[in-house]
A and B are shown apart, each in its own frame.
Chain A
Amino acid sequence: MNSNLVDPEKALLLRARRWDKQALAEIYDLFSPRLFRYSLRLLGSSPVAEECVADTFERFLLALRRGGGPQEYLQAYLYRVAHNWVTDYYRRNPLPDLPLEPNLQVNQELDKTMVETMQTESLRNALAGLTPDQRQVIVLKYLEGWANEQISLAISKSIGAVKALQHRGLLNLQKMLIKDQAALK
């Protein structure tokens, strides 16, 4: 392994700071699909997820132009911005409380797809019910497949804090899902 190789992400960022349009396009192409998936999982709506992605890159450009923005960790920075956007969205557009219909009785006639859709929606709502930090850790860890070190950089917290958030996040999710399941049953 050649240790002299420049980290491609950093090299890309360096070019972006010089307002190299090609580099900025590469960044967009690299991260836009990931950010879309990330936001779509949390938001549940393609148009809103697109809006989140567009705003995330807009803020990235403005930060670069002011000489700010990420110094080293581009991915962590972009996910943090998107996370803030989602948090804002949740704040302004509260999702309905679980269960969706308190009196709804899920019976055997509901087809599997419908059940799975509702389960997915349940999880999304449960995630929305977590604290922003817990949600970010859970999503990055279990949905995006990030390592704790990467999450640590993204949320600017220690690895210990990441583990603690992960633990508390999972517990809270379990409690919410147990409650949800009980209601569905």
Chain B
Amino acid sequence: MKQVLIVATGILLALSLTPAPVSAAAETPTYNQDVGPILLSNCASCHRPNQIAPMPLLSYKDVRPWARAIKAKVEAREMPPWFADPRFGEFANDTSLSTDEIATITAWVDAGAPEGDGPAPVVPRFSEAGWAHSDGSDPDLVYDAPFEWQIDAEGESPNFNLYTPMPFSESRRVSATQVRPGNYVATHHIVTGLLSIPPGMVVGTGSAWKDGPTTDFTMVRDPDADPEVLKKLAAARRAAASGDAEDDDTDAEDAEEDPDAAEAAAAARRGFGAYIPGVGADVAKPGQTREIRGDLFDHIFWNLHYQATGKPETARPSIGMWWSTEEATTRVRTLGINEHTSEGLQLVAEPPLPRGERRAAGQVGQGLNPLLAPIPPNAANWTVTGIGAFQNDAIIQSLFIHSHVRGKDFTWVLTYPDGREDILLRVPNYNFDWQLSYDLVEPLKVPAGSTVKAVARYDNSRNNRRNPAPHKDVYWSEQSWDDMFLATVSYTVDESGTEND
């Protein structure tokens, strides 16, 4: 009996010295001790000045007025925004709160949201200028676009391209880049890339798009160009307009001939990245730095898409660059998702038309879109599955899916060469406002002979709160009122080649 008492006393003593989870503790959580560290770790990267979030959450003074709203949002798991099903995969950029963390916030709010004693929690280092590098640093070079775009209060505008000079003429190695929109509310997306202005053309004054506003940063004919050059240019334009251009499928053909060189060339043209909602800085993992080839390209192109907000808006985007001296040891590649089924049908293309008729028939530059049937009115589970194939050993780094407001849920399935299947990622509630990449905590080695399937469902019914027109067919295009299926797998390979041995 004495031994039992001693053991029991020991257990009680140990329990009394072990901090109990706040949810079970009698003590009231405080901001300084409990809640502040949670919010600063998981929320403040967006909830700070010059960011997308509507209010900062950096101090007790910032947080207190929003306490009840914070409780409601975290209990509903609407904030922080994270959409992966926790049953499948672990992701490095997972900002979701644990059950204990949510319980702590709830208990704190229910107790009157006290500040508590002791020092305030330390605010992590953030860029005061609003850049989003994970280490809080400011870029080494900021390039402000030389245009400030005016967005009308009402109406729709198409995607359009502007061209601005490269800020340097050498190749610069970067560890990170970020494209900032200059106006979060009015910007649908910005994609950047690099190019050299072709002979016979210059960047000058013209319409941003047909019947669109005038800008000084569009590509126009060079008035001083050699007439012979202009003649060739006109012929090339006519050919391109008819789909008869020599280079219609040049990249695809190059890729078949020499895929590594073609992919490297594409990587060089990719520029500084993109801005889409929910996306911050693109920070390279160790060994994955990349080159910005100012030595090959003289201009940045900006593919811009803005949306009306009900009042006139302006936007001046900018690009941040963080230099690196680290050599790249590998390159992040993108697996094409090339085969598709939809609504129980294997997708099959029409036979290719003669070159001169391709563009008019929509056989040039539109990818998957022409093959997909429109989503009928009120269809709540319209399906598309994309399949990609690994012909070499690979290491999956991240997964990404893009759709518009009918996007409902997405699941990534890996099929190994022996037929086993693993679910890599499931996004049960896709959100157009948060187009996240899902970065694997442990990059996944997959053997050659594996396939990946992106299984997507779309909701064109009334049950989809984001659906603007459940009574209409939904077609497939880049416009937000249509929809898209874009799935990619980012991966690396063992560049030493040992995996092939």
A and B associate in one complex: no
A interface residues, Cβ below 8 angstroms from B: none
